[in-house]
Amino acid sequence: MRPIKLEMNAFGPYKEKTVLDFTELNNQTLFLISGPTGAGKTTLFDAIAYALYDDASGNSRSKEAFKSDFATDNDFCYVAFTFEVNGKEYYIRRNPAQKAPGKRGIIDHGSAVEFHHDGNVTTKISDANKEIIALLALSYDQFKQIVMLPQGEFKHLLESDSKDKEAIFRNIFGTQVILKFQENLKVKVSKLTKDVASNQSELKASYQFLNSLEDALLHSYCDEEDTEAVLDRLGELNKELLTEASNIQKKIEETTLSMRKYENHWEHTEKLQTLTARSEELALEAAHYKALESQIIQFEKAQDCLDAKGDFQKEVAAKTELDTMLRETQEKFTGYQVNLNDKLATFETMEADYKQLPEWRQLLDTRNKQLEVFEQIQKLEKEIARLLESQTENQEKATVLRMTDTQLADDLTDFLAQLEESQLAQARVTVSKDKLHELQTTHSLSKQLIDQLDRMAGLISAHTQALTEMQQAETEALEKNTLLMASRRLFNQNMAGILADNLNPGDECPVCGSLSHPTLATKISKAPSEDELEQIQKESTASDRSFTQKSEHVRSINLQITDLEIQTGVTRDGLAAAYESKMTEYEEMTAEIAHTSKELQTSELVAALSDARGKQVSAVQDERSTIQLKLKELETFYQARMEQITTQMSALETLKGKVNDLEVDSVREEADNYQAKIVYTEKAFPVVKQEVNDIEKQIALSKNSQESLDQQLGVADKRMTQAKQRLDEKLVEAQLGEDFEEHLLPSHTVAKAKKELVNYMDECKITQRNREEQEKIVAAFPEQLSSDAVQERITALKAELLQLDAASKKISNDCQTVKHGEDTIKCIFNKGKAVLKEYGQVKRLSDIANGQSVETGRLSFERYVMAIYYEEIVHAANLRLIQMTDNRYLLKRSTREAKGAGAKGLELDVFDHFTGQTRSVKTLSGGESFKASLALALGLSDVMQQQSGGIQIDTLFIDEGFGTLDAESLEQAIQTLSELNANGRMVGIISHVEELKTRIPAHIKVTHSSSGSKATISV
User: What are the structural domain ranges in the chain?
Assistant: 2-172, 182-299+761-780+807-850
What residues pair up with 11 in beta bridges, in sequence order?
Answer: 14, 67
887 neighbors 543 (Cβ within 8 angstroms)? no
CA distance 31 to 2: 13
Taking the alpha carbons at both ends of the chain, their separation in whole angstroms is: 22
What residues pair up with 1007 in beta bridges, in sequence order?
Answer: 1014
Give residue 785's region: left, alpha or beta (phi > 0; psi -120 to 50): beta
Looking at residue 142, its pLDDT comes to 73
Residue 831's alpha-carbon distances to 186, 225, 826, 835, 838, in angstroms, are 21, 17, 8, 6, 11
Q: How many residues does the chain have?
A: 1019
What's the DSSP call for residue 503?
A: P
**Own/partner pairs, 695-698, CB within 8 angstroms, 24+ separation:** 695/336, 695/339, 695/340, 695/343, 696/340, 698/332, 698/336
Residue 936's alpha-carbon distances to 253, 546, 928, in angstroms, are 96, 18, 12
Computed on alpha carbons and rounded to an integer, the radius of gyration of the chain in Å comes to 64
Read off φ and ψ for residue 505, nearest 5 degrees. Answer: -60, 135
CATH of domain 2-172: 3.40.50.300
From the list 102, 112, 83, the residue with the least C-alpha distance to 3 is: 83
CA distance 373 to 381: 13
Looking at residue 155, its pLDDT comes to 63
Looking at residue 511, its pLDDT comes to 45
Residue 696's alpha-carbon distances to 96, 333, 349, in angstroms, are 101, 10, 19
Amino acid identity of 1010? S
CA distance 18 to 7: 6
Burial class (CB in 10 A: 0-12, 13-18, 19+), 157: buried
What residues pair up with 99 in beta bridges, in sequence order?
Answer: 108
Looking at residue 358, its pLDDT comes to 84
CA distance 90 to 135: 10
Looking at residue 18, its pLDDT comes to 93
pTM of the full structure = 0.41
Looking at residue 151, its pLDDT comes to 55
Low-confidence stretches of the chain (pLDDT < 50) are 510-511, 900-901
CA distance 213 to 813: 9
